[in-house]
Copies of this chain bind each other. A is one copy, B any other.
Amino acid sequence: MAEKRKIGILGASGYTGAELVRLLLRHPRIEIALLTADRKAGQRMGDVFPQFAPYELPTLVAIDGIEWVGAGLDLVFCALPHATTQKVLKELLAQAPATKVVDLSADFRLTDAAAYARWYGHEHHAPELQREAVYGLVEVYRRDIKKARLVANPGCYTTCAQLPLVPLIKARAIELEGIVIDAKSGMTGAGRAAREEMLFSEVSEGFHAYGVGQHRHMAELDQEFSKAAGKDVLVSFTPHLVPMNRGILSTIYVRGRRGRSAAELHAILAEHYAREPFVHVLPFGKVPHTRHVRGSNMTFIGVAADRAEGRAIICAALDNLTKGASGQAVQNMNLMLGFAETLGIDMPALFP
């Protein structure tokens, strides 16, 4: 049997941390060698997430004491909050420069220092790493990721908008003006922090939008759509919260360019993704459900004609914790460590 590679997870007590553990426990080439959680240091993973009680896993430790060279990690997943991330990764890579990193925060997704400062209100604390980081949307940047040391794992909302839109923008098949992305997410996207507005009684049996007109994820969309188009693209984007745990659905309103019909847009996407393991384009006119990708690394895309001439409605669905976060992170890891891209993450969805 091939030797296992040692990985660490920084920030293992959050939902993306737990999802990484779920996936990596069954990955045949990986050994989970380090789990950190500053406020829960000393506890076992099974205390923090009881589903792991039956498994052997390292005890949670604080980041501060870690000796990165001695840890001998091949790759580190970083699932820390904004800001902390820059400092921790700077130190880690200074001490152990051969370690590879998949960062699940937003800290290294923006490649432009000015854009970062504008959206986050301060200079980046690790600008050289910011320049080095590769944006980890595998279906777009696969080649670069294979050679990368530091990969910035994309956001969940943005993955669910880029996968359907980037090929259409690149093919110059849609108008760049007036694109509307109406996005709906399950509650795990908001993380595990105890906040009143995330209580069961506050969010069940209801639906609402939030961050209207100002959500930070837009920076990432601007960057990637503009890059794909070769000029500035600014979309309308509204996130909403659905009373469910997992799943994002993006409903996207576009106009075909130069008379492109909805069916032609569908054909472009169907062909583009024909050989992708984690993107499935439904037959024309069919729409995806988030529940049919739950717990899997799959993205489902559907395209239908709007009744307004020349307009199409595109729906994309993925699991925000899997393809939208930890599954995509393992997909990146597989490429970075030279494994088959689907290794350990090719499980079917859990439905019902």
Contact = CB atoms under 8 A, between A and B. Distances in A.
Contact of A293 (B51, B186, B280): B51
Copies in the complex: 4
Contacts of A321: 352
A162 interface: no
A45 to B, nearest CB: 11
A201 B235 CA distance: 30
B218 A307 contact: yes
A313 interface: yes
A205, A300, A305, A348, most chain B CB atoms within 10 A: A205
Contacts of A245: 200-201, 204-205, 352
Contact of A180 (B202, B253, B302): B253
A234 B202 contact: no
A295 interface: yes
Interface of A: 15, 18, 21-22, 25-26, 49-55, 178, 180, 182, 184, 186-188, 190, 192-196, 198-210, 212-214, 218, 234-236, 238, 240, 242-247, 249, 251, 253, 280, 282, 285, 287-296, 298, 300, 302, 304-308, 311, 313, 315, 317, 321, 346-352
